[in-house]
Amino acid sequence: MHRLTGKTGEDSLIEMSPTDSFSDDVNGYHHHASSSTGSPEQGRSEFALTPDVRVESCESLNNSLASLAPSDHSDSPQFAPQTIEQINALTGFSRKRALFLKFRSRIDKQKYSKDSVFFRDGVRRIDFVLSYIDDKDDQRKQERRRVYESNLQKVGLELETEDKTESEDGKTYFVKIHAPWEVLATYADVLKIKVPFKVNDIPDNSEIPMNWLSTPFRLPGHIMNPEPDYFTAPFNKSKSDFFLIEDKETFFPPSTRNRIVYYILARCPYFKDECGDRDKKGIKRLLNNGTYTAAFPLHDSRYWTKSKDPNCESERFSLYKYWAKFFCFFKEQPLNLVRKYYGEKIGIYFAWLGFYTEMLFFAAVVGTICFVYGFLTYDDNEWSKEICSEEIGGNIVMCPLCDQKCTYWRLNITCNSSWQSHLFDNVATVFFAIFMGIWVTLFLEFWKRRQARLEYEWDLVDFEEEQQQLQLRPEYETKCTNRKLNRITQEMEPYLPITSKCARICLSGATVLLWISLIIACIIGVIAYRLAVYASFASIMKNNTATNLDVVAPYVTPQLATSVTASCINFVIIMILNLLYERVAIKITDMEIPKTHVEYENKLTVKMFLFQFVNYYSSCFYVAFFKGKFVGYPGNYTYMFGSSKLRNEECEPGGCLIELTTQLVIVMTGKQVWGNIQEALVPWLMNWWGSRKARSHPESLYSRWEQDYDLQGFGQLGLFYEYLEMVIQFGFITLFVASFPLAPLLALINNIIEVRVDAWKLTTQFRRPVAAKAHSIGAWEEILGGMAVLSVVTNAFIVAFTSDMIPRLVYMYAYRTHDELNMKGYINNSLSVFNISQFSQEERPEEYPSWFNSSITTCRYRDYRYPPDDKKRYEHNMQFWHILAAKLAFIIIMEHVVFMVKFFVAWMIPDVPSDVRARVKRERYLVQEYLHNYEVEKLKIQLSQNSNSDCTCTPMIYPSLSKHEVLSECL
């Protein structure tokens, strides 16, 4: 057989279920000499598999054919004529040739493990895979691929091509790429990748007290991947014996290898040397123009079982077993293994998410205690008792809450909502708001320390993003036709004229404002719905003795029904707008033509967060700070849109806090549930749909790269959406936490699931991402800091203006009419009086309740105004101004106290732990010392050689790579 194909294995094309796999028949490698490179047409076997061949997954047929196969595994197995006749009898004359050829292909493939991540020789590792569909009518794509792959070989990469006849669809080629040591060493030097040079000699004295308590949460030691602690330094190819290199094949881990290969792929041109178009380079442009269909590194095994090949690490299986399963939710995360397999950028995200979840535990405990306090003090709630009392609340007639459709009502119908409000609106609310302001500071400060430790442990201390910032986006190179000299690289590069840049930024800003206005318009529409529907609910529920409402009337008030339905509608609008402005933000950012990937991600981050902030929080801001604040009073109400008949909403006698709680619970919980379903279900369904044909065929026909090819691609913005989701949740539990102390508990439960869902989909449903370095969570850290400061202000205003805490305290200490320090008489004191004869005809209710009679001459409303028989009737009384002054004083005091504590805590907690600072200094000192000693020893050896011979050549540790072109924009 002239050319061996690499499509191996017995798994389905997509890894849907561990129960669908068959046992491995042959899993070892037979080392055969083969060519490292080859075109798609090179060396096809005598019996090539045609694209339309399909075989039924029939175990009895396979067993029968296997019994007829020759016993040896020679390169060209021959079947006797009588064997072919028996095959014909088994399958029928019309299918005999197709089954024979398919079985022949299977026999050839069983020499190689289907889990292999190596070339056909079983030695060279597959560091990257390119796939394409050969369109013979498109000569340009063929020429691009030929030149591109030729240039990759010139750089030093080794290629091996799998023919399309061996793919499931019969038309996809796979190009396997291997980076030899020469290339890895060269580009490790270019990228300044840190490698170990000396064992760490600083004793680790950081013992955790009562460490045995954490035993149930630990993972096995070999899974936590405790790598030996070394001092590291940037790799220098010319000084390789300075570093601790035991085995060249395993010195660079697979994540580093695929990062280096991708660095080469992103810069390799696809033009000939004689062509002058230097902008035609990079795998991204080739993917965008359809020359290649995919480019990805391989997973090292199937996720549900270890690889039978002993050379495969099976780290994916370990991650799935100990990290991605939900029943591991109480276990620590194997962050070192995550970093080793996926790279530092993904490792930092899961480290941050895990730390955030751990810190949420403390906030959830305190929030639950505050909720329990409200529940235990249920019977001490004097104002709710007065509202529910027949003698007090049953005799207080309230003014209509809307014109004509609404009628008079008794205060005791809000009894249940008043009790519910007490669960969240109590003295513990103030304490919890102050606690969360301090908790946010502790979270951010301790994360900085944790991040600094990870930076040191993962060799990111001196990591600079200058190289990433120098990498121009392919879209920028394509759309910018002007050229100018880059002062850093001293090369001509494309640039965007300042006039065009300003015009694009202005257009982008106008578009952002337009879409924010659209979001605000939708919120105003929901407010109008609340006003219009409230009248309908009020007219339906105005007689709570109606037979069909006897059960729900005591529990469902018009305010509650309006609030719940409006919150649900608002959530649906949020989800719809979310889909729209995600695309809008990407298009606006593309229109600005950012120069680098870092600039692109930062611009997109600002727009997406701004859209999400307005979309998710605007309704909560309305309920917290606007509803019930600009209502007016009977006879002089304030109307929405001026002369419209929609009167501004009023708060219940129990306050607007319960409505803010309802809004927060519905939006926050709905978003989290929908987000988890979407994250887990959508990739699974897409993979299932893409593999529906493969499930009817034998699993032994699909190789490692084919299974990964049909997984979902983890895009460049994959982590962006994960961060965005968590930052929006962070806003819910900080900006409005004073209204709902259980928000951190809901967030904690969600994040425990989120960690495992993200791990599961990354391990099972996505291709292996290209490893990337990142020393922090980037711009999100600044956003979290800004939200932490804003949360102090919003919670202070919620306690002061949305909660009834301040009016109650003012009444208890200044306006109570009895000697005891309690809240008796508060309800009567907090309601003003209006003479119903002064209602205009447009404001009078159309119908009256059955209990209403002519003896009722006044109604009550929620405000602090003089009665109708006073000279200053309906003007704000002195108590109103006292309460307003107390609210402003509380805001100032709370903000200053919390900010002072925040700054003091931030000052007391250093961003970098002292032991990490010492290790960094020690490492820098040793790098200089050892390099100096190394150079001195080299000089001595060279001088001794010069004295013994005439040779003056500098000793070379590696052969020269003069025949290879080093692709770097930094050189």
Q: Pick the residue with more confidence: 496 or 151?
A: 151
Instruction: Return d(Cα 970, Cα 159) in angstroms, integer.
Output: 26
Residue 939, pLDDT > 90, answer: no
Residue at 146: amino acid letter: R
771: DSSP letter: P
Instruction: Return d(Cα 479, Cα 719) in angstroms, integer.
Output: 27
Instruction: Return d(Cα 182, Cα 960) in angstroms, integer.
Output: 9
Q: What is the pLDDT of residue 707?
A: 86
Residue 519, pLDDT > 50, answer: yes
Q: Is the CB of residue 468 less than 8 Å from the CB of residue 598?
A: yes
Read off the tokens for 945. 């050689």
Lowest mean pLDDT, pick from 544-553, 555-564, 776-785, 931-940 = 544-553
Instruction: Return d(Cα 618, Cα 280) in angstroms, integer.
Output: 46
pLDDT, the chain, mean: 77
197: DSSP letter: E
Crossing angle between the packed helical segments 59-68 and 96-109, to the nearest 10 degrees = 80
Read off the tokens for 483. 């050229």
Best CA proximity match to 247, nearest among 189, 211, 195: 195
Instruction: Return d(Cα 113, Cα 352) in angstroms, integer.
Output: 38
207: DSSP letter: P
Which residue is listed with tokens 């209502």? 631
Q: For the segment 886-920, what is each residue's pLDDT rounded down to a tens digit?
A: 999 999 999 999 889 888 988 888 888 888 888 88
638: left (phi over 0), alpha (psi -120 to 50) or beta: beta
b/e map 654-682, b = 16+ CB within 10 Å: bbbbbbbbbbbbbbbebbbeebbeebbee
Residue at 795: amino acid letter: N
Q: What is the pLDDT of residue 393?
A: 86
Backbone angles phi, psi at 832, to 5 degrees: -90, 170
Q: Pick the residue with more confidence: 273 or 544?
A: 273
Best CA proximity match to 445, nearest among 133, 728, 40, 788: 788
Residue 514, pLDDT > 60, answer: yes
In the predicted model, what is the mean pLDDT of residues 742-755?
93
Q: Is the CB of residue 162 less than 8 Å from the CB of residue 134?
A: no
Q: How many CA atoms lie within 13 A of 61 on its CB side?
A: 18
Q: For the segment 377-391, what is each residue's pLDDT rounded down to a tens digit?
A: 877 788 888 888 888
CB 473: neighbour CB atoms within 10 A? 20
- What string of H, E and C letters represents the secondary structure of 38-78? CCCCCCCCCCCCCCCCCCCCCHHHHHHHHHHCCCCCCCCCC
Best CA proximity match to 319, nearest among 227, 219, 228: 219
Instruction: Return d(Cα 481, Cα 476) in angstroms, integer.
Output: 9
Residues with Cβ within 8 Å of 894's Cβ and at least 6 positions away in sequence, in order, are 430, 433, 434, 792, 796, 799
Which residue is listed with tokens 């990469």? 157
Best CA proximity match to 578, nearest among 606, 605, 612: 612
Lowest mean pLDDT, pick from 247-256, 640-649, 962-971 = 962-971
- What string of H, E and C letters represents the secondary structure of 208-229? CCCHHHHHHHCCCHHHHCCCCC
Residue 47, pLDDT > 50, answer: no
b/e map 879-889, b = 16+ CB within 10 Å: bbebbbebbee
CB 899: neighbour CB atoms within 10 A? 15
In the predicted model, what is the mean pLDDT of residues 26-46?
38
Q: What is the pLDDT of residue 174?
A: 93
Domain positions in the chain are 128-201+211-298, 915-943
Torsion sign (Cα): 489, 490, 493, 498: positive
Q: What is the pLDDT of residue 693?
A: 53
400: DSSP letter: P
118: DSSP letter: B
Q: What is the pLDDT of residue 278?
A: 57
Residue 659, pLDDT > 70, answer: yes
CA dist list (Å): 30 to 110, 116, 122, 737: 10, 12, 7, 63
Residues with Cβ within 8 Å of 628's Cβ and at least 6 positions away in sequence, in order, are 649, 650, 651, 656, 862
Q: Is the CB of residue 593 less than 8 Å from the CB of residue 480?
A: yes
Cβ burial, residue 923 (10 Å; 0-12/13-18/19+): buried
Q: What is the pLDDT of residue 927?
A: 80
pLDDT band, residue 359 (cuts 50/70/90): very high
Q: For the segment 426-480, what is each residue's pLDDT rounded down to a tens digit?
A: 888 889 988 998 999 999 999 999 999 998 888 887 765 545 545 566 667 667 7
Q: Is the CB of residue 659 less than 8 Å from the CB of residue 651?
A: yes
Instruction: Return d(Cα 22, Cα 697) in angstroms, integer.
Output: 12
Q: Pick the residue with more confidence: 922 or 958?
A: 922
Best CA proximity match to 408, nearest among 846, 864, 862: 846
Q: For the segment 121-166, what is each residue's pLDDT rounded down to a tens digit?
A: 888 999 999 999 988 778 888 889 999 999 999 999 999 998 888 7
Percent of the chain with pLDDT over 90: 21
Residue 505, pLDDT > 60, answer: yes
CB 955: neighbour CB atoms within 10 A? 11
Grouping H, G, I as helix, E, B as strand and the rest as coil, residue 941 is helix
pLDDT band, residue 215 (cuts 50/70/90): confident
Lowest mean pLDDT, pick from 272-276, 311-315, 625-629 = 272-276
Q: What is the pLDDT of residue 717?
A: 75
pLDDT band, residue 52 (cuts 50/70/90): very low
Instruction: Return d(Cα 794, Cα 433) in angstroms, integer.
Output: 10
Q: Is the CB of residue 713 less than 8 Å from the CB of residue 686?
A: no
Q: What angle do CA 716, 772, 593 make, to 5 degrees?
A: 40
599 Cα distance to chain centroid? 19
Read off the tokens for 623. 């309920």
Q: Is the CB of residue 30 less than 8 Å from the CB of residue 113?
A: no
* β 831-835/294-296 pair status: unpaired
pLDDT band, residue 517 (cuts 50/70/90): confident
Q: What is the pLDDT of residue 950?
A: 54
Q: For the segment 660-671, what is each residue's pLDDT rounded down to a tens digit?
A: 888 888 888 888
DSSP per-residue string spanning 561-584: HHHHHHHHHHHHHHHHHHHHHHHH
Read off the tokens for 348. 């930092």
Residues in a beta bridge with 483 = 494
Q: What is the pLDDT of residue 208?
A: 61
Q: Is the CB of residue 746 less than 8 Å from the CB of residue 668?
A: yes
Cβ burial, residue 943 (10 Å; 0-12/13-18/19+): exposed
Instruction: Return d(Cα 648, Cα 641) in angstroms, integer.
Output: 10
Q: For the segment 708-718, what is each residue's pLDDT rounded down to a tens digit?
A: 888 888 877 77
Q: What is the pLDDT of residue 224?
A: 79
Best CA proximity match to 192, nearest among 578, 571, 486, 460: 460
CA dist list (Å): 110 to 7, 131, 703, 781: 9, 23, 11, 51
Instruction: Return d(Cα 165, Cα 499) in angstroms, integer.
Output: 53
661: left (phi over 0), alpha (psi -120 to 50) or beta: alpha
Q: Is the CB of residue 719 less than 8 Å from the CB of residue 31?
A: no
| Dihedral over alpha carbons 249, 252, 257, 259 (to 10 degrees) | 180
Backbone angles phi, psi at 130, to 5 degrees: -110, 145
Q: What is the pLDDT of residue 114?
A: 61
In the predicted model, what is the mean pLDDT of residues 217-243?
80
Q: What is the pLDDT of residue 953?
A: 47
461: DSSP letter: T
Lowest mean pLDDT, pick from 135-149, 211-225, 256-270 = 211-225
Instruction: Return d(Cα 563, Cα 569) in angstroms, integer.
Output: 10
Backbone angles phi, psi at 176, to 5 degrees: -90, 140
Residue at 446: amino acid letter: F
Instruction: Return d(Cα 520, Cα 130) in angstroms, integer.
Output: 46
Q: Is the CB of residue 397 less than 8 Å from the CB of residue 408?
A: yes
Grouping H, G, I as helix, E, B as strand and the rest as coil, residue 451 is helix
